[in-house]
Amino acid sequence: MIQVVSSYQMAVDEDLEVIKNRLVPEGAAFDDLETLPRIAIVSGIHGDELEGQFTCFEVARRINEHPEYLTGIVDIYPALNPLGVGAIYRGIPQFDLDMNRVFPGKNSASPFESMAADIVADIAGATISLDIHASNIYLRELPQIRINEVSEQTLMPWAMESNVDFVWVHGNATVLKGTLAYSLNALDTPCLVVEMGVGMRLTREYGEQLADGIFSLMRKAGIWSGPVAKVRRPIVSVDGEVGFVNADAAGVFMPEVKHDGRVGKGQVIGHVLDAATGRVLQELTSPADGLLFTLREYPIVYPGSLIARVLAMSSSEGVN
Amino acid sequence: MLEETLFSMTMPYRQDMKIKSFSFGVTPDGRKLGGDGDARACADEFEDAACFVAGIRGNEVQQTYICARIVRKLRKLEAQGAITAGKRIMVIPCANPASMNNHKRFWVGDNTDVNRMMPGYSLGETTQRIAGALFEHVKGFHYGIHFASFYLEGDFMDHVRVMSGPGIQTDNGADFGLAYVSKHVPGSFDTTTLHYNWRLWDTEAYTLYTKETDLVNDESAASMVRACLRFLDARGLIDRPCHGGMRATTFSERGLVAVRVSRGGIFRGVSDLGDVVSEGALLAQVLDPLRGDVLEEVRAPEGGVVFFACRTPLVNEQTLAFQLVPRRIRKEQPDERGNFLDPEA
């Protein structure tokens, strides 16, 4: 059932609405809903990150096919920033603000802060929640979950069941306090941040992979009694094991590796090219043996542009 | 005057981006920064006294213009021998010329905000590198003055903003002689700004807000230049006859009275910045954009001075339309002190 989570009147004959689709077990009494376990699947905080769209669709489709297995509540929020999603715009179009810096929001503040507060209030209390991101238009990511170190203990058991390739436990930066995930975790509502694919595109296999993971989580939470796919065991890392490759020249980046697995230390990842002169301006190599989990997608680079992230691993450690 | 390029970065299909600074200083024996031959002084002979920074965002044109006028004024004062010996004053009018030339607020390459990347990182991503290079040159000054802008579409009265903690006390905001000094309690959002990081590195930091951002307003610019010269004079960095300016009212931003619209529509302002309004006074109307009817009359919930006024022609429900400095400071706001203008005057 489509429900409106938050609604504010815009200037010209239109309400700005954040919606969710609530799926409940067949025959569940309204009064019993409060007692059922609940999963919240969230996407579209950044309007240019669309990978979650297919995951949302796929989860809803599979539940619609077998509603008899549903034993808890599934809330699907496909677009928390509807203006941005519709306009291919990362932030909130009217203000050029990053919506994932205004949580937990505040009622009686600006419409967007109030909207953030409405969203947090609606999700709070869920058994588990996922905030699905798609990096940005510049970088492509292997399916991964990012966990703030302050929430590691609570979130790791969930992350291990989510069928991603990789779990990155990162440091607690102060600016992250404005994110939806931080706000929900602070309210004791576990929230996993998923990063996968690339901005403005859909990657079917990643969407299906994560949907499998979501059904695994639903099973763990007592929301799904049907069969689930066997999940892969993710590699877990902390900040110190991740190496960064940045451009030092301005030009056009041409990758020399595929974004699907291991690279060796010193292996060429790509080149920065000068299109006018035909010269190679910079050769970029991997800082370590390991898993290439981030690779630049957008070709134009400046000095400092992120090209790749590599998780250092010994050759005996496997990659799913 | 010493003109330097603090940072240079190659750009795809464009000339290199350069961040330039203009430094002023005279030694006790009369040698100058940027002087010729024997008259030349080196920067390490000076105390880093005051630093002005503008144009970190590409649309902060008014802020850059103000700094350019300060450069011009300091050049004259230096020639007149009016800069206190041994003190260096540095001005960076435009810290993000690449974005300004693109007419774009944030970084041209990836739309990130350089003023959310402080203190920066020289081996990091592009805007971290720009922030890192800028901060490396501006840290260590005794006073740091940043000309910044808000994301809200609207006009503020010229004012000084000071963050509470961390770092040293910054109680000299009234020396600018502007009507208002606002005190801001930083949120997580603020910890990567220039102001916050200046404070962390023990610089007495002030952020100045002017009426315009992407348009040039001469009157407001002149007022800001006078305010900066007044501050430099009050802090003993220049010797120039300055009028006293205004007796500043200091208040906590939490004490501002927010006036929001309750309907979406076309916004027609009635009150202007600086207007003294009584409780119930008409501040604006919200009009039905299709029928022309008045949907809402926005009225002052209490008496005060209009400090912020919305400028956008279209408003959503709950858009911030005005902020009023209330007639009386609330007792529960411990950070504030008195001196309010008499609203009836």
Model confidence pLDDT, tens digit, residues B73-131: 999 999 999 999 999 999 999 999 999 999 999 999 999 999 999 999 999 999 999 99
> What are the φ and ψ backbone dihedral angles of A223, each rounded to 5 degrees?
-105, -20
> Which of chain A's residues have a Cβ under 8 Å away from the Cβ of B260?
108
In this prediction, residue B314 has a pLDDT band, given cuts at 50, 70 and 90, of very high
A8 touches chain B (CB under 8 A): yes
Show the domains of chain A with their CATH numbers.
Answer: 2-233 (3.40.630.10), 240-312 (2.40.50.100)
pLDDT digits (tens, 9 = 90+) for B27-74: 999 999 999 999 999 999 999 999 999 999 999 999 999 999 999 999
Q: How far is A161 from chain B (nearest CA, A)?
A: 31
Does the model's ipTM exceed the 0.90 cut? no
A9 touches chain B (CB under 8 A): yes
> Which of chain A's residues have a Cβ under 8 Å away from the Cβ of B318?
8, 108-111, 114
What does DSSP assign to residue B321?
E
* Closest residue to B264, CB basis, from A10, A91, A101: A10
Strand partners, A27: none
Show the domains of chain B with their CATH numbers.
Answer: 2-247 (3.40.630.10), 254-326 (2.40.50.100)
CB-CB neighbours of A170 under 10 Å: 16
Predicted pLDDT at B144: 98
Measured between alpha carbons, how far is B144 from A174 in angstroms, rounded to an integer? 23
* Closest residue to A110, CB basis, from B105, B116, B318: B318
What does DSSP assign to residue B84?
P
Give how far the C-alpha of residue A128 lies from the chain's centroid of Cα atoms, to the nearest Å: 14
In this prediction, residue B164 has a pLDDT band, given cuts at 50, 70 and 90, of confident
Selected for mutation to probe chain A from B110, B115, B153, B197 (highest A CB count within 10 Å) is B110
Predicted pLDDT at A171: 84
Q: How far is B86 from chain A (nearest CA, A)?
A: 37
Which pair of tokens denotes residue B314? 């279209």
Q: Which of A16-30, A204-218, B179-193, B330-344 is least confident?
A: B330-344
Give contacts of A 178-217 with B, CB under 8 A: 178
Q: Residue A80's closest CA among A58, A102, A107?
A: A102
At residue B176, the 3 state secondary structure works out as helix
Mean pLDDT along residues A262-280: 97
CB B115 within 8 A of CB B190: no
CB B330 within 8 A of CB A24: no
In chain B, which ranges are E strands?
2-11, 14-24, 32-33, 40-41, 47-53, 87-92, 143-148, 154-156, 159-163, 180-184, 204-209, 249-252, 257-260, 265-269, 276-277, 282-287, 294-299, 304-310, 314-315, 320-326
Predicted pLDDT at A153: 95
Mean pLDDT along residues A200-223: 98
Strand partners, B155: B309
Q: How would you write B205-265 as a 3-class SS string?
A: EEEEECCCCCCCCHHHHHHHHHHHHHHHHHCCCECCCCCCCCCCEEEEHHHCEEEECCCCE
The verdict on a CB contact (< 8 Å) between B317 and A8 is yes
pLDDT digits (tens, 9 = 90+) for B214-243: 999 999 999 999 999 999 999 999 998 888
Measured between alpha carbons, how far is B139 from B137 in angstroms, rounded to an integer? 6
Determine the straight-line distance between the first and last CA of chain A, rounded to whole angstroms.
Answer: 37
* Closest residue to A177, CB basis, from B9, B11, B188: B188
Q: Rounded to 5, what percent of chain B is helix, strand, coil?
A: 25, 30, 45
Selected for mutation to probe chain B from A175, A182, A246, A302 (highest B CB count within 10 Å) is A302
Strands B265-269 and B249-252: unpaired
* Closest residue to B316, CB basis, from A13, A111, A301: A111
pLDDT digits (tens, 9 = 90+) for A46-99: 999 999 999 999 999 999 999 999 999 999 999 999 999 999 899 998 877 899
CB B6 within 8 A of CB B92: yes
> Which of chain B's residues have a Cβ under 8 Å away from the Cβ of A138?
110
The verdict on a CB contact (< 8 Å) between B12 and A251 is yes
Q: How would you write chain A as a 3-class SS string?
A: CEEEEEEEECCCCCEEEEEEEEECCCCCCHHHHHHCCEEEEEECCCCCCCHHHHHHHHHHHHHHHCHHHECCEEEEECCCCHHHHHHCCCCECCCCECHHHCCCCCCCCCHHHHHHHHHHHHHCCCCEEEEEECCCCCEEEEEEEEEEHHHHHHHHHHHCCCCCCEEEEECCCHHHHHCHHHHHHHCCCCEEEEEEECCCCCCHHHHHHHHHHHHHHHHHHCCECCCCCCCCCCEEEEHHHEEEEECCCCEEEEECCCCCCEECCCCEEEEEEECCCCEEEEEEECCCCEEEEEEECCCEECCCCEEEEEEECCCCCCCC
What does DSSP assign to residue B12?
T
Mean pLDDT along residues A293-308: 97
Q: Which of A124-138, A254-268, B33-47, B167-181 is least confident?
A: B167-181
pTM given for the model = 0.90
CA nearest to B104 within chain A? A96
Q: Residue A188's closest CA among A146, A126, A106, A145?
A: A126
CA nearest to A305 within chain B? B125
What does DSSP assign to residue B76?
H
Which pair of tokens denotes residue B342? 């008499």
